[in-house]
Structure 1
Amino acid sequence: MTVLEQEGFVRSVPRRGIFVVRKTKREILEMITVWAALEGMAAHLAATRASAADLKSLRRLFNDFEQEPPHAHTNEYSQANIAFHQAIIRMGGCNLIVDMTQNLLLHMRAIRAVSIRQENRLETSIREHTGIIDALESRDPERAERLVREHTLGLAAHVEKHGVFPA
């Protein structure tokens, strides 16, 4: 319970109980913005540090989704999506970025899981992930950083526009 409280998911009130904390849209947008900065830097680093095997496994995450309509496997795609973003952070090789993103990971997982099912986010996500992988494989740090940042800020724009979370 202490971990949930530290992560901002619950709040304990003495003699009243434990309550689930709902994030405001502004808080969600701030989390996404911070994640974009951290993951963007990780992608910049990963473009020069990631092994060929790491990049191959990153591309393999999405091979199955190119053969069939992605909507047929939304849950599987959602899991691959989270694995993709975690892999980029790990491939950057910066332990501080890994540690800092751990505090946001549960929130980002929930945000992405909800938003991936809306409008055309799934198709957009697949297309953008492919571009990010191409930039990493090309060993282009600036392009990788820019594409990751734009991808994540696109999620923020989606959340802002659709108001899918509490205001």
Structure 2
Amino acid sequence: MFFKANFKVLVLLVLLTFSALALHRFGFLGTSLSLLENRSSDLFRSVSTSSVIGDLTKKGDHTVLKCHLESTEGFNLCGLSVDLRDGLGRGIDIRHYDELDLELLYSGSFADPKIKVSFRNFHSNYSSLKDPISMKFNTIIFSAEKYSGVLTVPLDAFRVESWWIDQYDIDFKDS
């Protein structure tokens, strides 16, 4: 009788384990966090360099960035900065997440345009609140023509920018 009860409990635990694994595999037990929900609209900034003019507008629930490139010479950058800090130097803890969904719509007339997405994080080993560039740059770059709509990017696809490692002489354990 004791063996029979233990066997039933064991079978039940095995079934629950496989059920939980299957539910997780098919996304039913996933954890998500909306980075933009309940945040003010002033967290968006346009970032541009040299011969690029960025125009940032709000259209309904979407933020739209239009970039006008005046010259193709040299290094040109037009981008969107989203400040997700809860306070000075305090960001969002993303340790329990493994992917990021980006909703993208790109149009342009350049051959093989690239989109660059960077996370920057603060750590007392290498960052200074007086120097915003000292926050680590974790980046992915991909072809804008290949992706439209929602793109799911694994967080482990992001890489630390080599120029940042060189500029701040960062040891490999912090990069």
**TM-score bin (small chain):** under 0.3
Counting helix residues as a fraction of each chain, which structure ranks higher? 1
Q: Could you state the TM-score of these two structures normalised by the residue count of structure 2?
A: 0.24
Bigger relative contact order (CA 8 A; separation at least 6): 1
Bigger radius of gyration among the two:
2
Q: Could you state the TM-score of these two structures normalised by the residue count of structure 1?
A: 0.25
Counting strand residues as a fraction of each chain, which structure ranks higher? 2
